[in-house]
Chains A and B, each alone.
Chain A
Amino acid sequence: MKFTAPHIQYDLISPILIVLGVAVIGVLVEAAVPRARRYWVQVVLAVVGILGALGGTVYVLDKINAGSDHPKPGFLAAEGAIAVDGPTLFSWVLILVLALLGVLLFAERQLEGGVTAFAGQAAALPGTEAEREASAKGLEHTEVFPLLMFAVSGMLIFPAANDLLTLFVALEVLSLPLYLLCGLARRRRLLSQEAAMKYFMLGAFSSGFFVYGIALTYGYAGSMQFDKIANAVSSSSGDHALLLGGMGLLAVGLLFKVGAAPFHAWTPDVYQGAPTAVTGFMAAATKVAAFGALLRLFYVAFGGARWDWQPMMWGVAILTMVVGSVFALTQTDVKRLLAYSSIAHAGFVLTGFLGARSLADIHAGDITPVQAVLFYVTTYGLTTMAAFAIVTVVRDSGGEATHLSRWAGLGKESPLVAGIFAFLLLGMAGIPLTSGFTGKWAVFAAALSAGAWPVVIVAVLMSAVAVYFYVRVIVVMFFADPVGEGPTVAVPSVMTGAVIAVGAAATLVLGVVPGPLLDALGRIAQFIR
Chain B
Amino acid sequence: MTDFPWLSVLIAVPIVGAIVVQALPRRANPAAPKQIALGVSLLTLVLTLVMTSAYKTDGGMQFTEQHEWIKTFGAHYALGVDGIGLSLVLLTVILTPVVLLASWNDGDNGRWSPNAFFAWMLAMEGLAVGVFAATDVFLFYVLFEATLIPIYFLVGGYGGPQRARAAVKFLLFSLAGGLVMLASVIGLYVESAQHQGGRADGGATYLVSELAKIDFGTDVGRWLFVGFFIAFAVKAPMFPVHTWLPDTTQNATPGTSVLLVSVLDKIGTFGMVRFCLELFPEASKWATPVVVTLAVISIIYGALMAIGSDNIPRLIGYTSVSHFGFIVLGIFVMNSQGLSGANLYMFNHGLSTAALFLVTGFLISRRGSALISDFGGVEKVAPVLAGLFLVAGLSSLSLPGLSPFVSEFLVIVGTFSHSEVAAAFAVSGIVLAAIYILLMYQRTMTGPTRAEVAGMRDLGTREVVALAPVLLLILVLGFFPKPLLSVINPSVDHTMSQVGKQDPAPTVADKTPEGAHE
Chain B, range 7-46, C-beta contacts under 8 Å to A: none
**In the assembled complex, B454 has its CB within 8 A of some CB on chain A:** no
In the complex, what's the smallest C-beta–C-beta distance from B379 to chain A, in angstroms?
38
| A445, B168: Cβ atoms closer than 8 Å | no
Partner of A433, one of B73, B142, B203: B142
Minimum CB–CB distance from B340 to chain A (whole Å) comes to: 32
Q: Which of B72, B142, B183 contacts A367 (CB 8 A)?
A: B72
Contact stretch, chosen from B80-88, B171-179, B297-305 = B171-179
Q: Verify if A49 is at the interface (C-beta below 8 Å from B).
A: no
Interface residues on B, range: 35 or more
Q: Can you offer 30 A-B residue contacts whose CB atoms are under 8 A?
A: A364-B203, A365-B72, A365-B193, A426-B149, A429-B175, A431-B149, A432-B143, A432-B146, A433-B146, A438-B70, A441-B182, A442-B72, A448-B183, A456-B183, A456-B186, A460-B180, A460-B182, A464-B175, A464-B179, A467-B171, A467-B175, A472-B168, A475-B167, A478-B111, A478-B157, A479-B111, A479-B157, A479-B167, A515-B71, A519-B72
Q: Which residues of B contact A426 (CB under 8 A)?
A: 149
Residues of B within 8 A of A456 (CB): 183, 186
Smallest distance from the beta carbon of B498 to chain A beta carbons, Å? 25
Interface code A67-96, partner B: CB below 8 Å = 1, 0 otherwise?
A: 000000000000000000000000000000
Interface: B145 (CB within 8 A): yes
Given contacts A363-B197, A472-B168, A475-B168, 13 further A-B contacts (CB under 8 A): A364-B203, A365-B71, A366-B204, A367-B72, A431-B146, A433-B146, A441-B186, A463-B179, A467-B176, A471-B171, A475-B164, A479-B163, A518-B71
Q: Is the CB of B190 within 8 A of A471?
A: no
Q: Which 10 A-B pairs have the closest CB atoms?
A: A365-B203, A363-B197, A432-B142, A479-B164, A365-B202, A518-B72, A464-B176, A432-B145, A364-B202, A515-B70
CA distance A426 to B149 in the complex (A): 10
Interface positions of A from 460 to 509, Cβ below 8 Å from B: 460-461, 463-464, 467-468, 471-472, 475, 478-480
Say how far B388's CB is from chain A's closest CB, in angstroms.
Answer: 34
A456 and B187 alpha carbons, distance in the complex (Å) = 10
Alpha-carbon gap, A479 to B157, bound state (A): 7
- B429 within 8 Å of A (CB atoms): no
Closest to A412 in B: B111
B156 close to chain A: CB less than 8 A: yes
Residue numbers in B under 8 Å from A441 (CB-CB): 73, 182, 186
The answer, yes or no, to whether B479 is at the interface (CB within 8 Å) is: no
Report the bound CA distance from A461 to B175 in whole Å: 10
B73 & A366 in contact (Cβ 8 Å cutoff): no
Interface residue? B189 (CB, 8 A): yes
| Binary contact readout A220-232 vs B (1 if CB under 8 angstroms, 0 otherwise) | 0000000000000
Residues of B within 8 A of A442 (CB): 72-73
Query: Bound state CA distance, A460 and B149, in angstroms?
Result: 20
A336 smallest CB distance to B (angstroms): 21
Bound-state CA distance A145–B517 (Å) is 77
Q: Does A514 contact B (CB under 8 A)?
A: yes
Give the residues in chain B near A478, CB-CB below 8 Å: 111, 156-157
The residue in chain A whose Cβ has the minimal distance to the Cβ of B227 is A460
Q: Report the separation of the CA atoms of residues A363 and B74 in the bound assembly, to the nearest whole angstrom.
A: 13
Chain A interfacial positions (CB closer than 8 Å to B):
363-367, 371, 426, 429, 431-433, 437-438, 440-442, 444-445, 448-449, 453, 456-457, 460-461, 463-464, 467-468, 471-472, 475, 478-480, 513-515, 518-519, 522
Q: Is there a chain A Cβ closer than 8 Å to B141's Cβ?
A: yes
With CB as the reference atom, state the residue of chain A lying closest to B153: A478
Interfacial chain B residues near A471, Cβ < 8 Å: 168, 171-172
Query: Which partner residue on chain B sits nearest A479 by CB separation?
Result: B164
Chain A neighbourhood of B480, CB < 8 A: none
Chain B residues with CB under 8 Å of A445's CB are 73, 186, 189-190
Docked Cα-Cα span, A73 to B187, in Å, equals 31
Nearest Cβ on chain B to A424's Cβ, whole angstroms: 14
Q: Verify A448–B187 contact, CB threshold 8 A.
A: yes
- B4 within 8 A of partner (CB): no
Are A460 and B193 in touch, CB under 8 angstroms?
A: no
Interface members, chain B 128-158 (any A CB < 8 Å): 141-143, 145-146, 149, 156-157
The chain A residue sitting closest to B194, CB to CB, is A363
Assembled-state Cα–Cα distance A211/B266 (Å):
59
Task: State which of A429, A432, A467, A514 has its C-beta within 8 Å of the C-beta of B141.
Answer: A432
Q: Which residues of B contact A522 (CB under 8 A)?
A: 72
Known: A432-B141, A471-B171. A449 touches B180 (CB 8 A): no
Interchain CA distance A365-B179 in the complex, whole Å: 25
A479 to B142 alpha-carbon distance, docked (Å): 26
**Does B286 have its Cβ within 8 Å of any Cβ on chain A?**
no
Considering the chains assembled together, what is the distance between the CA atoms of A472 and B164 in angstroms?
A: 10
CB of B72 within 8 A of CB of A363, answer no
- Tell whether, in the assembled complex, residue B202 and residue A431 are in contact, meaning their CB atoms are under 8 Å apart: no
Which residues of the other chain, A, contact B179 by a CB distance below 8 angstroms?
A: 460-461, 463-464, 467
The CA-CA distance from A446 to B182 in the complex, in Å, is 14
**CA A431 – CA B176 in complex, angstroms?**
11
B425 lies within 8 A of chain A by Cβ? no
The 0/1 profile, CB within 8 Å of A marked 1, for residues 277-294 of chain B is 000000000000000000
